[in-house]
């Protein structure tokens, strides 16, 4: 959230788990800030005015309570957060929150987040247009190999990057991996081949494309296509996605409608990555579908695609879970922006 000072962020962090009075807040700030009583009162009043906190009670018993949690601030320490057992964590979102769909465009600040990316978009378009088709094809192949490897690794696949290259370039299967692991890698390639052949159809989100990408990614993996008709659990979190096909269809419809009101393809791509993972519309293969579909939107609109090559798989999952549980997008957005910069620095030079 633009404009909040580090002190005010610290105050919000202090109130995440419990209400506190002014003396408790001031005492917790003293180690990090030389803050006077007047400054503290001013900070608290400004947070009240902005609608983040509220006063509870009167007189000496007055405390401050968190009214709404800014979703784009680093309010948590991920290591500390995940040291708490999943069943003992105090979470905001055990069930799907439809309200998040209406606020997804607030995840990015135009001046701070999008300006540099829009400049890179122009550079990327010029690079592609000025390279010969053989160079572009070769670089796309390298990108697809690295994306197929890391996207599959996030899902637990044990293929190495070199074995992935050998499989995709030479169709030589690793004898150290299972048939399903080999198929998962190949399906990533098939999905991206489909996208490149139909790139103009991926300018924006559509349910048709969502289902098509998913069906390619789970081909021959004994995973049902089309939306789930039952509940599903996610390892490592108490968050439970929608548990029937009608609610899933409603959520996807709302997402598609919301995208029509948003001009930025980058916000659409990021929100596709987040919300397909959050809704979990399919029995399996949701996160990989989200990554590939998000990349399709990026490429169709002349943005760099993301290979996720330098992502730590566990940190990726933690960033998603803290969004599921606390509606905090800071860590996942940071990962996305870092990976976008990684692509700018490493591909299509």
* pLDDT value for 1: 38
What is the topology classification, in CATH, of domain 99-346? Fic-like fold (1.10.3290)
Give SS3 for 150: helix
Helix, strand or coil for residue 63? strand
Question: In angstroms, rounded to a whole number, what is the distance separating the alpha carbons of residues 69 and 194?
Answer: 40
What's the pLDDT score for residue 3? 61
Mean pLDDT (the chain, rounded): 92
pLDDT tens digits for range 266-323: 999 999 999 999 999 999 999 999 999 999 999 999 999 999 999 999 999 999 999 9
Rounded distance between C-alpha atoms, residue 285 and residue 215, angstroms: 9
Identify the CA nearest to 74 among candidates 322, 307, 338. Answer: 322
What global pTM score does this model have? Answer: 0.86
CATH topology of domain 6-70: Arc Repressor Mutant, subunit A (1.10.10)
**Band (31; pLDDT cuts 50, 70, 90):** confident
Domains of the chain by residue range: 6-70, 99-346
Sign of the C-alpha dihedral computed for residues 260, 266, 267 and 273 taken in this order: positive
- pLDDT tens track for 227-281: 999 988 899 999 999 999 999 999 999 999 999 999 999 999 999 999 999 999 9
Mapped onto helix, strand or coil, the DSSP state of residue 53 is strand
- Whether the pLDDT of residue 32 is over 60: the answer is yes
Separation CA 62–CA 47 (nearest Å): 16
222-225-228-229 Cα dihedral, nearest 10 degrees: -90
Q: At what angle do helices 286-300 and 133-154 cross, to 10 degrees?
A: 160
How confident is the model at residue 2, as a pLDDT?
A: 46
């Amino acid at each position: 959230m633009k404009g909040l000072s580090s002190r005010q962020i610290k105050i919000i962090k202090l109130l995440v788990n419990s209400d506190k009075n002014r003396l408790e807040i001031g005492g917790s700030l003293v180690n990090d800030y030389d803050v006077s009583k007047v400054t503290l009162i001013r900070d608290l009043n400004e947070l009240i005015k902005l609608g983040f906190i509220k006063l509870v009670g009167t007189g000496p018993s007055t405390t401050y309570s968190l009214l709404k949690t800014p979703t784009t601030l680093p309010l948590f320490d991920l290591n500390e957060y995940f040291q708490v057992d999943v069943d003992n964590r105090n979470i905001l979102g055990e069930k799907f929150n439809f309200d998040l769909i209406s606020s997804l465009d607030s995840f990015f600040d135009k001046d701070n987040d999008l300006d540099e990316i829009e400049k890179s978009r122009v550079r990327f378009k010029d690079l592609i247009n000025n390279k010969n088709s053989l160079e572009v094809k070769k670089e796309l192949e390298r990108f697809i190999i690295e994306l197929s490897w890391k996207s599959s690794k996030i899902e637990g696949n044990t293929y190495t990057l070199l074995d992935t290259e050998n499989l995709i370039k030479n169709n030589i299967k690793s004898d150290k991996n299972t048939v399903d692991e080999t198929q998962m890698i190949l399906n990533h390639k098939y999905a991206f081949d489909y996208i490149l052949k139909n790139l103009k159809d991926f300018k924006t989100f559509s349910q048709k494309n969502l289902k098509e990408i998913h069906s390619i990614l789970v081909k021959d993996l004994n995973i049902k296509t089309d939306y789930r008709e039952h509940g599903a659990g996610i390892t490592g979190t108490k968050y439970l996605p929608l548990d029937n096909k009608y609610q899933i269809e409603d959520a996807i419809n709302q997402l598609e409608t919301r995208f029509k009101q948003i001009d930025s393809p980058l916000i659409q791509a990021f929100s596709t990555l987040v919300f397909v993972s959050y809704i979990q519309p399919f029995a399996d293969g949701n996160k990989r579908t989200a990554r590939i579909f998000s990349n399709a939107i990026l490429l169709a609109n002349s943005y760099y695609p993301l290979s996720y090559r330098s992502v730590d798989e566990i940190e990726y999952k933690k960033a998603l879970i803290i969004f599921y549980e606390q509606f905090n997008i800071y860590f996942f957005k940071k990962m996305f922006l870092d990976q976008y910069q990684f692509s700018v620095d490493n591909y299509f030079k």
